[in-house]
Amino acid sequence: MNFISGEILYIDKPLEWTSFNVVKMVRGILCRRLGIKKFKVGHAGTLDPLATGVMIVTTGKATKLIDSLQAHVKEYVATIALGATTPSYDLETEIDATYPTEHITRELVEATLPKFMGLIQQTPPSFSACKVDGKRAYSMARKGKEVELKPKTLMIDEIELLEYSPAAITIRVVCSKGTYIRALARDIGEALGSGGHLTALRRTRVGDVRVEDCHSVDSIRELLRTTPIEMPEETEDSKQNIQQ
């Protein structure tokens, strides 16, 4: 494999790993094998630590493809707890309010979900990587500061109820770049006349790449450590592509 000219790696991100942890692992192994201190490695689409699934990592010249890779449609499977909210809209923070759920039925859920199909307006979570005055929103939110984010227009291509119980639902969502499933959980909870927060999230597809096509962390480590590395002829261009 020619990591300097550019490779695209498909990895199943584990629970509690940050996207940066995955990039750092790939970069660290390649730097040791190449005998260098800096090397270009990037990723196409952040996954929260509490999410798992498809993560696309690029190396060398392939980092220039990140914008086009990020633009691909994504598919998620999400579990939403009903009747309670958290400030982060997931399990990162404690429950801050509870709501009735006795009125929520499968029929109500099935009638509500289609309202989120098509073009929608979504306000990103305060606990997100969106920037406010040059600072990440999550860094401000974690300090207890007020964060005001503007709604964004997004496309939800498909939304399907997979599992239902009075306490939680599991849905499959196919959506555009920039969709926050945590925010969707919040909005679905509100639309049901209750509250909701995300308790599990798995990105099952990015474009044509499915989670079944991805390497586990152990298998990508083995691949990076053992696969023969092709070295391009040394030019000024190749030197620049090694630098981070």
- The residues annotated with a catalytic role in the active site are 48
DSSP state of 14: P
* Calpha distance 92→210 (Å, rounded): 26
Q: Does an H or E element contain 168, and which?
A: strand 168-175
Angle at 123 between CA 188 and CA 44, to 5 degrees: 100
Determine the number of helices (DSSP H) and then strands (DSSP E) in the chain. Answer: 7, 13
Exposure of 233 by Cβ count < 10 A (0-12 exposed, 13-18 middle, 19+ buried)?
A: exposed
Nearest to 12 by CA among 213, 223, 225: 213
Q: What is the DSSP string of 64-122?
A: GGHHHHHTS-EEEEEEEEESEE-TTSSTTS---EE---TT--HHHHHHHGGGGSEEEEE
